[in-house]
Amino acid sequence: MSHTHLIFRTHVCYKYLVITTCFPITMSMDAVWKQLSCPSLWEESNGLPCIPMPLSVASNVFDELDASPTPWHRVLDMISVAYAYCTHKRQADAIALLRDCYVYLLPQPYCQHDCALLKQYRPAMRHVLDSFWAVLEWGRTEATTPSPMLLAFINTITPFQHLSPDLQAAVHAIHGGVTKIQHDVALSYLERCIMMNRLEGEWHWMKGNSFWCGDSAVEHLRMAHRLRPGPHTALTLAENLPLDKCRAEVAELLGEVLRLYPDHPYVLSHAGRLLLRVHGKTKTMFAEAERLLLRCRAAIGDRCFLRLRLGYLIQEQGGRADEAKRHYETACRLNPADAGNIRMNYMGDYSNCVPISLDNLSRMFK
């Protein structure tokens, strides 16, 4: 490898998991890669690369794709999962996901969706997808002499610096979305994109929906719902408002979302817990919350996350422990990558847990 060097990236994920990936990058291409934007090329201010989700987290995100608020959110999550697959030597699965992402960028009537976010920020999403595809293809071929076709494709990618400020802000938002397990990094990019485009409600929603947003969460969520209302903005705002002071507003937001989006999978899968919060844990409300989850399952098919919510909802009512357990066991079968966490957190089964000790930690890092 006389004129090629390997960029080794070591990712330290939580649960003490260390993942190392490498991409063969030709020295003469360094300037080109710096003009592109994708998880494999992003480097944070601390010098570390973009940390991918562990496979257990990626499997949960993949499980909920059909209940995404909008196609924009679905594509963003597919990019995050594809990056996780890349770092766990599942390139074929990553490529399949990226192909699906491209389908969502096709104009109508080829792709039947009416997503205002994708329409407005399509060049930004295309910039990230093309960059990601170029890096994947470069690493897959592992050729010291790149193919003319690949070089020609890379030359067609609009450099980040040539994007408009609003599109650059969208790329920063995508960066923040992909790095959400790095809370401080995600927040820094979301703050940056809000500074560049304060009138985009989606950026406010992404920041307000972050667990680490703090006291300003409600302010950002209100701004998001005013600037670009959607099923997710109404529900997230309602979930974050203090019930003792804003019960009427929470009830109004809940009624609004059920009226405007009665069949939306995101609403069907999230509104039940808000019903219980607003109207109390009565037998009638439990039945309605369960009905919404079952309607969601009928719409998108059996999913792990729906089984978990059904099981927990039934468990809360009491007297149906066996039924709840069956839901949890089905969830484990539907999402085997996260079965250990499900058994531990929902079923109280710690039999597969490995006690943390210095010996265990040393073996993990070998």
What tens digit of pLDDT does each residue of 132-146 get?
Answer: 999 998 887 765 677
**Residues in contact with 187: Cβ distance below 8 Å, sequence separation at least 6, in sequence order:** 176, 207, 210, 212, 213
- Mean per-residue pLDDT of the chain: 86
Using CA of residue 122, residue 124, residue 127, residue 128, what is the dihedral sign?
negative
> Residue range 172-176: average pLDDT?
96
Ranking 14-18, 109-113, 149-153 by mean pLDDT, the lowest is 14-18
Ranking 152-156, 164-168, 262-266 by mean pLDDT, the lowest is 152-156
Pick the more confident residue, 9 or 151: 151
SS3 at position 359: helix
Ranking 57-61, 173-177, 179-183, 205-209 by mean pLDDT, the lowest is 179-183
Query: What integer pLDDT is reported at residue 63 of this predicted model?
Result: 98
Gap between the Cα atoms of 318 and 325, Å rounded: 12
pLDDT at 10 over 60: no
Give the start-to-end residue ranges of the domains of the chain. Answer: 33-197
**Residues in contact with 245: Cβ distance below 8 Å, sequence separation at least 6, in sequence order:** none
Question: Is the CB of residue 279 less than 8 Å from the CB of residue 313?
Answer: no
Gap between the Cα atoms of 117 and 284, Å rounded: 37
Query: What integer pLDDT is reported at residue 172 of this predicted model?
Result: 97
Task: Work out the pLDDT band at 241, boundaries 50, 70, 90.
Answer: very high
pLDDT at 80 over 90: yes
Pick the more confident residue, 341 or 48: 341
C-beta atoms surrounding 126 within 10 Å = 17
> Residue range 28-52: average pLDDT?
84
pLDDT at 12 over 50: no
CA 334 to chain centre: 19
Task: Work out the pLDDT band at 348, boundaries 50, 70, 90.
Answer: confident
| Token pair 């209100």 in the structure block, residue | 222
Task: Work out the pLDDT band at 147, boundaries 50, 70, 90.
Answer: confident
Query: What integer pLDDT is reported at residue 320 of this predicted model?
Result: 86
Pick the more confident residue, 111 or 23: 111
Residue 19 parent element (H or E)? strand 17-26
Map 163-232 to HEC letters: CCHHHHHHHHHHHHHHCCCCHHHHHHHHHHHHHHCCCCHHHHHHHHCCCCCHHHHHHHHHHHHHHCCCHH
115 φ, ψ (degrees, to nearest 5): -100, 110
> How do residues 104-129 score in pLDDT, each as one tens digit?
998 777 676 889 999 999 999 999 99
Residue-wise DSSP of 125-171: HHHHHHHHHHHHHHHHH--SS--HHHHHHHHHSPPGGGS-HHHHHHH
pLDDT at 57 over 70: yes
**Residues in contact with 117: Cβ distance below 8 Å, sequence separation at least 6, in sequence order:** 70, 71, 72, 202, 228
Query: What integer pLDDT is reported at residue 31 of this predicted model?
Result: 84
> How do residues 294-338 score in pLDDT, each as one tens digit?
999 999 999 999 999 999 999 998 888 899 999 999 999 999 999
pLDDT at 357 over 80: no
Most confident of 145-159, 209-223, 257-271: 257-271
- Closest-CA residue to 120 (of 72, 174, 69, 189): 72
